[in-house]
Amino acid sequence: MEQLVVAGGQPIHGEMIPAGNKNEALPCLAAALLTEEPVRIENVPAIADTRTMVELLENLGCTVEAADHSVTVGAAGAESPDLDTARRIRGSFLLAGPLLARRGTVHLPAPGGDRIGRRRVDTHLLAFRALGARISHAEGEYVLQAPDGLTGTDIFLDEASVMGTENAIMAAVRARGRTRIANAASEPHVQGLCHMLVGMGALIRGIGTNVLEVEGVDGLGAFTHAIGPDHIEVGSFIGLAAVTGGELTIRGAGVEHLPMIRIGFERLGVRIEIDGDDVVVPGGQDLAIMDDADGAVPKLDDAPWPGFPADLTSIMVVVASQARGTILIHEKMFESRLFFVDQLQRMGARIILCDPHRVVVTGPAALVGAQISSPDIRAGMALLIAALAARGRSVIQNVHQIDRGYEDIDRRLTELGADVRREPE
């Protein structure tokens, strides 16, 4: 196990290019199973979760060539996944849709991943059953079978689940006939997967909306797809620049996906400038929370896309702790995501945990270094941002959680002037 040792209190400065979107890379890697022809995926982030997905594909019998953020998958000989490897990341459940569509059967464990609350797979199963699959579940493992193939139908998802939508799309593109998916998720990574599938020969209408229409095809072909920039990483670095007082330029930030993220930061007093497809965070900002029009305490809450993304909630708690004023932050989706705030309180943050979904934050608080532990990807990055804003030395343990979602984070922060080093625990 490794840890990060951080000397805080120094503004970051400079330029960076965001990594590819992890949550787009994982379903796109899984989608390569839908064809026997080679699929090349570019701008794949070099993080623990994508390495695990590549390992899963290799264990399936795929040929995989990975070099310089590109992965080429040949899935002609794909078989069944290794269950122990599949348990390590939640993204392994994305194998269900393409394997069910192509092979008619799949055996998978309950998905692993972050411990941020209950993460149900019912939406995935609802879609598979609607398409004609039989499903059995025992001792934490799922067996899905469609020996006669899948048949298109109308599906109304019980929630706008990102992975549930992705699995439904991947199963539907090889089903017989037309599938209509309503209440579908429309996040940038869902859109990216759809564009890749269209490039492979799929017929999908309504990309970027909450209603998708898919015409099943007999087969898909070779394609090269480039993963888009990770809007969550962009938001994370905006927050980091704001709380350390540094000036940062983020090149190729994918600004078309940032409107609600910008609104969220502006509510905390963070000024952001747009220059083409670049984001500029000016240095030395005086952060002040914007009260509601009637003078009431404002609220920042997450919502399905295009609402404010849940994966930035932890980051915004830290930014709010360094802004003048009070705000209620409401995380509606995961009942354990906010439990990391006790570590921020230990660093001096003024936060009241109201219940599993809500915190009240009052700032600015003078943070001090502490020994803390990363419970999940996003909370880990939030604690790292807090450590960089704090006075003194911090030690962040369980850093592999951050590595699951942020590529080479210590080197990239060092290049921006941060004092961060990695060492064994």
How open is the CA angle 198-50-57, to the nearest 5 degrees? 75
Class of domain 2-19+229-424: alpha beta
Q: Which pLDDT score, from 0 to 100, does residue 90 have?
A: 66
The full set of domain ranges for the chain reads 2-19+229-424, 22-226
- Provide the pLDDT confidence category of residue 298 given band limits of 50, 70 and 90: very high
Is the model's pLDDT at 27 over the cut of 50?
yes
Give, for 97, the enclosing helix (H) or strand (E): helix 96-103
The CATH code of domain 22-226 reads 3.65.10.10
| 180-200 pLDDT tens trace | 999 999 999 999 999 999 999
Q: Look up tokens 């705000």; give the residue.
A: 327
Per the DSSP assignment, residues forming a β-bridge with 290 are none
Catalytic residues: 114
Average per-residue pLDDT in the chain?
A: 93
Q: Which residue has the higher pLDDT, 138 or 415?
A: 415
Q: Is pLDDT of 114 > 80? A: no
Q: Which residue has the tokens 């219940």?
A: 355
- Which tens digit of pLDDT belongs to each residue from 360-413? 999 999 999 999 998 999 999 999 999 999 999 999 999 999 999 999 999 999
Q: What is the mean pLDDT of residues 111-121?
A: 56
Question: Environment class of residue 51 by beta-carbon count within 10 Å: exposed (0-12), middle (13-18) or buried (19+)?
Answer: middle
* pLDDT band at residue 299 under the 50/70/90 scheme: very high
Helix (H), strand (E) at residue 29: helix 22-31
pLDDT tens-digit profile of 307-330? 999 999 999 999 999 999 999 999
Model confidence at 126: pLDDT above 80: yes
Return d(Cα 265, Cα 337) in angstroms, integer: 20
Q: Where are the beta strands (DSSP E) in 126-254?
A: 134-138, 141-145, 154-156, 178-182, 203-205, 211-215, 223-226, 248-250
Position 141 scores a pLDDT of 84
Q: Is the peptide bond before 356 cis (omega within 30 degrees of 0)?
A: no
Residues 6 or more apart from 25 whose CB is under 8 A from it?
A: 41, 44, 45, 50, 53, 227
Q: What is the pLDDT of residues 233-263, one digit of tens each?
A: 999 999 999 999 999 999 999 999 999 999 9
State in Å, rounded, how far the first CA of the chain is from the last one.
6
What's the mean pLDDT in 106-114? Answer: 69
Contact between residue 40 and residue 226 where contact means Cβ atoms under 8 Å apart:
no
User: Residue holding tokens 């310089």?
Assistant: 68
Strand 248-250 vs strand 14-16: parallel, antiparallel, or unpaired? parallel
